[in-house]
Structure 1
Amino acid sequence: MHYVCFHVIAACIFLLSSCGGSPENFPEILSTNPENESGRCSLTTSISVNFANQIIPENISSETFTVRDDDGNYVQGLVSYSLSDLSAKFSPYQSLKKNTKYIAELHESILGRKYSWSFSTYGFIFIVMSDTHIRIPGAPDNQYYDSRRNEFNLVTTISYINERFPTADFVVVTGDLVGTLYSTNLNHYGVGKDTPVDRFKSLMNKLSMPFFVALGNHDYLVGFDTNAGEAISAMDWQIPEMEAVWQKVLEIPPFYLIEHEGLHFYFLNSVTGSKRGLSCPYETRGRMCQGSFSSNQMEWLEQNLASGAKSFLFFHHPIRTPGTSPFDWTFYGDSYMVDQYDEFYSILSKHLSQILAIFVGHGHSPMKGNLENGSPVFETPSTGDLLGSANAMYVVNVFPDTGEISIISPQEFPLH
């Protein structure tokens, strides 16, 4: 009996000593993330510290675990503590600034002394969205699609990007920007006009960073047959007229290349190749559901890839990847993929070592495959129409010197 009481009393003495703050009983630090003076931290990194022994959880808060930049500006974030692995985590509410030194600090109430470490950010981020399907109220296709929901989802996503990822360099949309154009007359487009194209531009201009787009099959629709419940695809002679609309409103050609931080970003057109005349499944007036690239575009692509620059590719239709089925990418399998015999695949095979990642749309749901060299291919979830939701996007971290990338979803950023 005395033996048991002795240990109970000893335990009580230890607890009183810990609560009283005796220095020898304060916890020690095992590790930090990032490590002290790390110089290659992404703009979406979280900051954490692992302790050797238990701490008083109530001592961990946004006032006792802080992060600030080298100019003394404090970062706002969510602070949490895990009892299971004895770690405290600081999750910033916003993406960090590029090429900036940060100092993380623990208050003396945690360790009995102040403790700080530093790290620096490197690289940049961009964001990928897809299939926004912007329409205008009262248009013929509205009885089949929810134009207000599509617009709400896009507006919500844009607000989220501006708030949570203000340091992103740019945003990409991989096609099906609108539901249908309805007109190829250039006089119907421009400042003050309410067309799906102008509305898309007006909404996207609310972003606090630039945006770039690839065109999808819906971006070549000229109307909607309400009797059949089908969209009407452009005839061959209308394709140049529709591309002139996009050139006027968004100032983009059908396909193009931008250079950024020493990397190449290709915005390709998977709509107007040799398969453009095939009917969509279960439709009589809709075409271009199967993807294909024009021969002049592929000649242009091969010439530019000859530079050897590390590259990202963006286009609308999914491609075949080893170990995946066409039905993994779309509901309709091959008929919604880039044609398996398209010249694109042979060009891609010659330049695999340059390709950092490919981003597509069309299937409206998240999907990932890999090229033969392991480079990822991502199908981007939609904000519009079928399966569309707000904040459906990928956030891409890039280290331009090595070409290393990492992808996070918006859900990995804390709410506040």
Structure 2
Amino acid sequence: MKLLQLTDIHLTKPGDTIAGRDPNENFRKALGHAVTHHPDAEAIFITGDLSDWGDKDDYLRLKAEIAECPLPIHLCIGNHDERDVFLSVFPEGADENGFVQAIVPLSEGTAILLDTWGPDTHAGFYCSKRQDWLDRELSKATAPVFLFMHHNPVPIGIAPMDKIMLQDADGFGQVVARHAAKIRHIFHGHCHLPLAGSLHDIPFSAPRGTNHAGWPDFANKGNLAGSDLPESYAVVLAEETSTMIHMIEYGYEGTVRREGSPDYADWDRLTMVR
């Protein structure tokens, strides 16, 4: 089974840029690259910060863009979004409690989309009502379960980012710990960094994002750090006993060299391309 994760697309008013990059054009490039190179993907999951300012026009353009995509696309919201504005354009995205959460059956197991949005903050929240919902859905879900969310549920060791991570991390962690045997992987965004780790022995990961890139500036205690690294998305290859995740830097414009061979007999000092 192949899944794709895009994150932090930050759609803006046409013509506006973020870090000198056009997020609308970069999202179109990401979607085009994904469809061209991975037409066999089962679904695309976009893990939040769909809009940069939560503007309705951004969601309307997003709806039009994904309507043309031949692959199913499922949406989470992030701290840059506005839940009520998003739901005015995507009302089908609401669960029974009004959160942007959903259950997506997959050919191998289940995907669960989580809403970690909170008002007037960049930090993430997963309140008791959401925790109860997730607990019930995990009890019913067919394993393996893949969780998709915006905010990181584990500190990344960079002070400014850790201030705006998931604030209900302990409660969230207790819920997933009870169902750890079912949960194959947690996918998040928010940090604009390629990350990997585990929570209660459940692996998690994040790609960089489809527009502006972060930088792991461990010495900086007050500001978020950016860089000019390439835009990216993730390709998830899930089999019965394994999960492999690639970060595809589709924004890379350098040379791709086809060099070497997997066959040991072809490794020759005189003829090997290095």
- 1:368 to partner: Cα distance: 0.6
Q: Which runs of 5+ in 2 are unaligned?
A: 95-99, 215-227, 251-255, 259-274
Q: How does 1:179-198 map to 2 (within 5 A)?
A: 179-182=52-55, 195-198=57-60
Aligned-partner SS, 1:378: strand
AA aligned to 2:90 is Q
- Relative to structure 1, is the Cα distance of residues 379 and 303 closer, same or farther in structure 2, using a 3 angstrom cutoff? same
The correspondence for 1:383, drawn from 205, 210, 214, is 210
- 1:415 to partner: Cα distance: 8.3
- Relative to structure 1, is the Cα distance of residues 371 and 150 closer, same or farther in structure 2, using a 3 angstrom cutoff? same
Which has the larger strand fraction? 1
- Relative to structure 1, is the Cα distance of residues 270 and 342 closer, same or farther in structure 2, using a 3 angstrom cutoff? farther
AA aligned to 2:93 is I
Alignment RMSD: 2.7
- 1:147 to partner: Cα distance: 8.4
- 1:384 to partner: Cα distance: 2.4
AA aligned to 1:326 is I
Paired residue for 2:107? 261
Paired residue for 2:151? 317
Q: Which runs of 5+ in 1 are unaligned?
A: 1-123, 184-194, 221-238, 277-286
- 1:293 to partner: Cα distance: 1.0
Paired residue for 2:180? 352
- Relative to structure 1, is the Cα distance of residues 200 and 390 closer, same or farther in structure 2, using a 3 angstrom cutoff? farther
Q: Post-superposition, which runs of at least 4 consecutive aligned residues in structure 1 deviate over 4 A?
A: 386-391
Paired residue for 1:176? 49
Q: TM-score, normalized by length of structure 1?
A: 0.51
Paired residue for 1:306? 139
- 1:206 to partner: Cα distance: 3.7
The correspondence for 1:199, drawn from 61, 74, 89, is 61
CA deviation map 1:375-405 (0-9, x unaligned): 3211221112454876511111112xx3521
- 1:354 to partner: Cα distance: 1.0
Q: Is the 8 A contact 1:160 1:391 kept in 2?
A: no
Q: What is the CA–CA distance in structure 2 between the aligned matches of 1:200 and 1:335, rounded to whole Å?
A: 29
Q: What is the CA–CA distance in structure 1 between the aligned matches of 2:110 and 2:233, rounded to whole Å?
A: 21
- Relative to structure 1, is the Cα distance of residues 146 and 305 closer, same or farther in structure 2, using a 3 angstrom cutoff? same
How many percent identity over aligned positions? 21
Q: How does 1:150-229 map to 2 (within 5 A)?
A: 150-182=23-55, 195-220=57-82
- Relative to structure 1, is the Cα distance of residues 182 and 152 closer, same or farther in structure 2, using a 3 angstrom cutoff? closer
Q: Is the 8 A contact 1:255 1:297 kept in 2?
A: no
- Relative to structure 1, is the Cα distance of residues 308 and 171 closer, same or farther in structure 2, using a 3 angstrom cutoff? closer
Aligned-partner SS, 1:306: helix
AA aligned to 1:404 is S
AA aligned to 1:168 is A
- 1:411 to partner: Cα distance: 6.0
Aligned-partner SS, 1:217: coil
The correspondence for 1:368, drawn from 196, 209, 232, is 196
- Relative to structure 1, is the Cα distance of residues 209 and 337 closer, same or farther in structure 2, using a 3 angstrom cutoff? same
Q: What is the CA–CA distance in structure 1 between the aligned matches of 2:170 and 2:63, rounded to whole Å?
A: 32
- 1:244 to partner: Cα distance: 3.0
Paired residue for 2:129? 296
- 1:351 to partner: Cα distance: 1.0
**2:14 is aligned with 1:137:** yes
Q: What is the CA–CA distance in structure 1 between the aligned matches of 2:233 and 2:63, rounded to whole Å?
A: 18
CA deviation map 1:222-278 (0-9, x unaligned): xxxxxxxxxxxxxxxxx5x33532434xx3111111111251111000113xxx4xx
Q: What is the CA–CA distance in structure 1 between the aligned matches of 2:169 and 2:42, rounded to whole Å?
A: 35
Aligned-partner SS, 2:12: coil
Q: What is the CA–CA distance in structure 2 between the aligned matches of 1:201 and 1:147, rounded to whole Å?
A: 25
Q: Is the 8 A contact 1:135 1:147 kept in 2?
A: no
Rg (Cα) greater in structure: 1
Q: Which has the higher contact order (CA 8 A, sep 6+)?
A: 2
AA aligned to 1:157 is A
**2:22 is aligned with 1:149:** yes
Paired residue for 2:218? none
AA aligned to 1:396 is V
Q: Is the 8 A contact 2:148 2:186 kept in 1?
A: yes
- 1:299 to partner: Cα distance: 1.2
- Relative to structure 1, is the Cα distance of residues 134 and 333 closer, same or farther in structure 2, using a 3 angstrom cutoff? closer
Count residues in correspondence. 234
**2:251 is aligned with 1:408:** no
